[in-house]
Amino acid sequence: MSTALLTTQELGITINDRPILKSLNLSFNPGTFVAITGPSGSGKTTLLRTLAGELEPVEGKVVNYLDCPTRLAMIFQDLKLGDGATALTNVLGGSLGRHSFLSTLFRFPAQEQEKAHRLLAKFGLSGKSNQWTSTLSRGEKQRVAACRTLLTQPQLLLADEPVSSLDPALAEEILTNLSNSILKQNGCLVCALHNDEQVTKFADLVLRLDPSDPNGWMLEDLKPKEVG
Amino acid sequence: MKPELPWHSRFDLLGITFLIFLLGALGALPSIEGSGRDLDYWGNLSRFTSQFFPPDWSILNRTLEGLLETVQIALVSTLLSIVISIVLSVGAARTIAPVWLLWPTRMILNVIRTIPSLLWALLAVVIVGSNPLAGVIALTFYSVGYLAKFFSETFEAADTDAQQALRSLGASPLQAFQFGLWPNARPIIWSHCLWMLEYNVRSASIIGYVGAGGIGLHLKLYAESADSWNKFSLVLLFILLIVTVLDFTGEKIRKSIRDKLEGQKI
């Protein structure tokens, strides 16, 4: 078995002192699609932020085995895009970690621009790349945010409901794109999802946040997948 | 049943400020008085204004030259003040600058704003002589006082989400500012710049009165020589024209920026 990218050890988290889950021992392994499901307010975002290192765990710990911190990236539920910048510039923001301030001051390196254009095309946004992000629909913005995070070339991608505003067909296409980009490079994709069909179709492992469970979570291994 | 709010709850900061303003204005009324002499106000007004008509078109060419110089002064000083203001505003924005930089910068801006544009013009004329350069210097200083304040307020109010997101995706603080905060602040900043340009065209047409270049000098000459009010009125007519055109185009551009920013709300 390959080494894990990230593990949790006896992890416990709370929201406003309300316990959400405890004693979570989980490894995030290369080539795995982990889905996190649960009703709204069950703590999916808090868990993802804890995994990303943004929040300190209340109990236990999160151990990060990635060789470089920028190999972990997040697609935020509230997107956090620059409204007055074009879709292309927003996507290129994902490449900033690889370049110095001066080398991106006036324009981005050509190879990054090319990568950004390719990503936008893959997510069906070629025609929108020079539009201000504020003029895009919610679903389009969501895809811009996904492209930006993919351009950081993460090994571990934490996606907080990345397809919540998309119609089912497009959502599946985007999830296929995300999992192809990450899993093929032996990365791990952790996705908060609402739709059970998407979960069974894509996920290898499901972490269900369930308030009725004593520990607050249940793990379900979906391998081997029924649908290819 | 609707819970009754205590009577004083409506006196929030805004309400009290308005009340003080109203009391102040009404209280000031008794001290605003005329000369006390019995003057024929309407007669004076109609005699004076009748000298404005009809405007004297023989000075058209000279007026257009003066206007061109006025607009040039406004353009150059607005450009200079934008560059200086962007630098200063970063120092005056609470969300960006450290405290030791914040207060001195704000103090400088307060001092600059305290001095009216005509006084800046006088100062500049004393230093560099009576020419358009004096106008540029005067309006640059004057505009910086306002633009830098507007810019810093825009930076403070801008959405910082994108900036934080870029930081977490590996960008340096400067990069996060350039690609995260600046795009959100930029549309508002441009619309402030446009307003400043309009304002500077108006100011540039008066500072010539003290010798700082532009159409103001013409106004002064016509006002001081006898029977030239009809020339004066032609100049005013053209200032009105140019200000109206600027106002109209400025409004159009600002509206298109607003529409673009509001975008598709879903």
pLDDT in tens, B81-97: 999 999 999 889 888 88
- How far, in Å, CA of A5 to CA of A31, rounded? 10
pLDDT over 80 (residue A223): no
Lowest mean pLDDT, pick from A199-203, B8-12, B73-77? B8-12
CA-based nearest residue in chain A for residue B180: A82
In a domain, B5, yes or no: no
Q: Are A149 and A96 in contact (CB under 8 A)?
A: no
Share of chain A above pLDDT 70, in %: 97
A4 pLDDT tier (thresholds 50, 70, 90):
confident
**What pLDDT sits at residue B106?**
92
Q: What average pLDDT does range A204-228 have in this prediction?
A: 77
Q: What distance in Å separates residue B152's CA from the closest CA in chain A?
A: 17
In a domain, B249, yes or no: yes
In a domain, B9, yes or no: no
Helix (H/G/I), strand (E/B), else coil: B170: coil
In a domain, B228, yes or no: yes
- How far, in Å, CA of A113 to CA of A197, rounded? 35
Kindly calculate the radius of gyration of chain A based on its CA atoms and give it in whole angstroms.
18
Q: Are B162 and B100 in contact (CB under 8 A)?
A: no
- How far, in Å, CA of B161 to CA of B135, rounded? 41
Q: What distance in Å separates residue B256's CA from the closest CA in chain A?
A: 12
pLDDT (tens digit per residue) in B192-206: 998 899 889 888 888
Of residues A62, A116, A48, A64, the one with CA closest to residue A85: A116
B260–A93 C-beta distance less than 8 A? no
Q: What average pLDDT does range A134-157 have in this prediction?
A: 90
- How far, in Å, CA of A168 to CA of A172, rounded? 6
Question: C-alpha distances in angstroms, B255 versus B158, B191, B252, B259?
Answer: 19, 10, 5, 6
- A72 Cβ contact partners less than 8 Å away, ≥ 6 residues apart: A6, A52, A53, A64, A66, A154, A155, A156, A157, A158
Q: Are A131 and B204 in contact (CB under 8 A)?
A: no
Q: What average pLDDT does range A170-186 have in this prediction?
A: 88
B190 pLDDT tier (thresholds 50, 70, 90):
confident
- How far, in Å, CA of B171 to CA of B163, rounded? 9
Which chain A residues touch B186 with a CB distance below 8 Å? Answer: 84
In a domain, B44, yes or no: no
Query: Whole-number mean pLDDT of chain B?
Result: 86
Q: What is the largest CA-CA distance in chain A?
A: 55
In a domain, B86, yes or no: yes
- A120 Cβ contact partners less than 8 Å away, ≥ 6 residues apart: A87, A88, A91, A126, A128, A129, A144, A147
The angle that helices B117-128 and B132-157 make with each other, rounded to 10 degrees, is 140
**What pLDDT sits at residue B45?**
85
- How far, in Å, CA of A47 to CA of B37, rounded? 81
Q: What distance in Å separates residue A44's CA from the closest CA in chain B?
A: 18
- How far, in Å, CA of B31 to CA of A199, rounded? 78
Indicate the CATH number of A1-66+155-228 among 3.40.50.300, 3.10.620.30, 3.40.50.1010, 3.40.190.290. 3.40.50.300
Buried b (16+ CB within 10 A) or exposed e, A139-175: bbbbbbbbbbbbbbbbbbbbbbbbbebbeeebbbbbb
How, if at all, do strands A6-15 and A59-64 pair?
Answer: antiparallel
pLDDT (tens digit per residue) in B128-138: 988 889 999 99
Q: What distance in Å separates residue A45's CA from the closest CA in chain B?
A: 15
Name the residue with higher pLDDT: A42 or B79. B79
Of residues B206, B165, B189, the one with CA closest to residue B254: B189
* E-assigned strand segments in chain B: none
Highest mean pLDDT among A68-72, B61-65, B83-87: B83-87
Q: Does residue A224 have a cis peptide bond before it, meaning omega lies within 30 degrees of 0?
A: yes
CA-based nearest residue in chain A for residue B168: A73
DSSP string, B62-104: HHHHHHHHHHHHHHHHHHHHHHHHHHHHHHH-TTTS-HHHHHH
Q: What distance in Å separates residue B142's CA from the closest CA in chain A?
A: 29
In a domain, B143, yes or no: yes
Of residues A112, A109, A139, A108, the one with CA closest to residue A124: A139
B169–A148 C-beta distance less than 8 A? yes
Could you tell me how many helices (H) and strands (E) chain A has, helices first? Answer: 6, 9
Nearest to A82 among B169, B172, B180 (CB): B180
Q: What average pLDDT does range B32-44 have in this prediction?
A: 78
B176–A136 C-beta distance less than 8 A? no
Q: What average pLDDT does range A77-82 have in this prediction?
A: 88
Q: What average pLDDT does range A134-151 have in this prediction?
A: 90
Q: What average pLDDT does range B128-152 have in this prediction?
A: 91
- How far, in Å, CA of A33 to CA of B181, rounded? 33
If one counts every other C-beta atom within 10 angstroms of the C-beta of residue A191, the result is 27
A interface test, pick of B154, B159, B160, B169 with most A CB neighbours within 10 Å? B169
ipTM over 0.90: no
Long-range contacts of B154-159 (CB under 8 A, 24+ apart): B154/B89, B154/B185, B154/B188, B154/B189, B154/B192, B155/B89, B155/B90, B155/B93, B155/B95, B155/B96, B155/B181, B155/B185, B156/B93, B156/B94, B156/B95, B158/B184, B158/B185, B158/B188, B159/A83, B159/B184
Share of chain B above pLDDT 70, in %: 97
Token representation of residue B1: 């049943």
Buried b (16+ CB within 10 A) or exposed e, B93-129: beebbeeeebeebbebbeebeeeebbebbbbbbeebe
**What pLDDT sits at residue A224?**
61
- How far, in Å, CA of B95 to CA of B156, rounded? 6
| Number of domains, chain B | 1
B162–A137 C-beta distance less than 8 A? no
What is the CATH number for B92? 1.10.3720.10
Of residues B209, B41, B80, B211, the one with CA closest to residue B134: B211
In a domain, B15, yes or no: no
Domain boundaries along the sequence of chain A: 1-66+155-228, 74-153
Q: What average pLDDT does range A98-115 have in this prediction?
A: 88
**Interface contacts A/B by beta carbons within 8 Å:** 92
A83–B261 C-beta distance less than 8 A? yes
Structural domain range at position B195: 56-262
